[in-house]
Structure 1
Amino acid sequence: MNIFPAQYSTLSSKALNVKLRESYGLNSTTCRLLIRNVSDTYVIENATEKYIFKIYRDAHRKLEEIKGEVELLTILFERGAKVSRPIPDIDGEMLQVFNAAEGIRYGVLFSWAQGGVVSALSEQHLEAVGKEMAAIHNLTSSIELSHQRKEYSIYTALIDPIKVIEPAFAGLENEYEYLRNTAVDVIAEYNKFGVGFSYGYCHFDFLPKNFHFTDAGEITFFDFDFAGKGLLAYDITSFFIHYFMEVTYGKITEQQGRDAFKTFIANYRKVRPLSDEEINAIPYLGFGFWVFYLGFQYENFDDWSNLFFGPRFLKDRVALIKKWMETAHLLLP
């Protein structure tokens, strides 16, 4: 009997454990699925070692882009950045190939980011985040990868996603009209951006969920799945969004959010320049950030199984974006 066509399979943890033991020379490991999401993420570990193994979806990342992520992280690690690094197998290969039900899928083994997520960041944490992200930007602004990664232009981050999500707003025409009209204003502001903006490879999802701290305060950045060429201020913006959310949901006060972000900026500037123009652009870049991920969620609904994506979510998200456009500037230092 022929195998019926599939669009998104989940590889067996048990079989994967056997394969990775052979490929990487590992002993006595266990393997478990951690997240079935943008990519499938597995934890591989034994008594002394622990790794992350990520399997990409072809619909989300083509081979060229996967090679670009591996190349970027290898360069960053070799030049001293504190990142989770890709690990070659015993034959020196970075990518593992799987003939899955839906076709070829590729996987990469990454070093484990020691520690855990810290949402309530202390001054010491903020010092490390600011300095180390600036150090990464010093590297990513001065390299050119041999493999292509996504480019975050005004088109890919805003204009195209606005068009893509329109069908999702059937019955929510007022909400979509707000997004479309606001996009016109944001594009006008974007076109005023001058030479004070740094450009390079940005993480584009620089939130606390994507870096770990050890008890000793050591930081490791990971999940560069969305990394691509664009304004480095997008990373500053996504970190700022963390504090906007913390204030919006009443976890901290407005003053606490402003002070924390100010500390982050001060430490970033100890390592790398950051213009006032870039900081003042955060409300507009943030609008693009929100819209870009709405586009991603809509286009990947089937494969991602993001059941939250529906009319209620969209209505609530537009309300949040309205609040962002009205109040984000109040949290800027």
Structure 2
Amino acid sequence: MNYFGLLFLFPVAYSAKHYLRYFLTATYGVPGFPEFVGAATVDEVQVGYCDSNIKTAKPKQDWMRKLIEGDPKHLEWYSQKCLGSQHVFRANIDGLKQRLNLTKGPHILQRMNGCEWDDETGEIKGFNQYGYNGEDFLALDLKTLTWTAPKSQAVLTKLLWDAEKARLEHNKNYYIYKCPELLKNYVHQGRSFLQRRESPSVSLLQKMSSSVVSCHATGFYPDRAEMFWRKDGEEIHEGVEKGEILLNNDWTFQMSVELNISSVQPDGWRRYDCVFQLSGVRDDIIITLDKSVIHTNWDPPEIPVVPVAGGVGGFLLILVVVIILWMKKSNGFQLADGEG
């Protein structure tokens, strides 16, 4: 999720790592949900989407559309991968149901795979990991070219997949050569979009006079940001609860950090302030704890907060329902194309 391009214009330090990730989800017995959903992201930005209903791949960013206009075979390649992965995933679900002696649904098979490229060191890493019904199932070790099974239910599938030597070699070649080649091209084509920096609107919010005070930032980009409370200029942790960074429907981000003020004396409020820091931006945004600037439920102001819109829009609007728990449990599994 890192960007470059204006490095020669602005003396700021950007992280050198970039990611191409693919999210694939196949379902069985889930009413109202496509049997197959696939999406591609570059540095956490959705660039493509397909599902079993539309039966084709669609670009999701203007720069990706322009890239495809110059190379229509690129879109055709993704559409074929989408259709092919749909059939493979359905066969995998059928095989898993049989091996695990499962009859009743629903069943959800997920894959997160892709590659990471460090544009400073040139280091390449590949990822290919599966989840089944919300649990970690298999992960490919590219060094040994074997699958690892975190649970006993996956051992039989591991043994079967370990025996598919041609498939394993295909995976290895994809993650070492094809995936990084795609990623480098995408970063180059989309750098003006990916490298942008957008500062947030920051507000102090409180439900009731006795409630915690939430420092809320929304509309920032990228998601490499820090937010904390401090007292007398020193960061504090006691009585502070930090929320997760969430994606808005316009592909900016929001986050909050709460301060318990129950033990703060009225004359000591101004000793506290909230600090927001965005990677690549020199100046912090600082708001001092002051009753006069707090927005409350009993006197609702016009707050320029961008709604999350069901979570994340596009493919995430769909995928978040079935993969978010698995992704959190998997410590941010990182993913590549429909290989594996």
TM-score range, shorter chain: under 0.3
Q: Using structure 1 for the length normalisation, give the TM-score.
A: 0.23
Larger radius of gyration: 2
In proportion to residue count, which structure has more helix? Answer: 1
In proportion to residue count, which structure has more strand? Answer: 2
Q: Using structure 2 for the length normalisation, give the TM-score.
A: 0.22
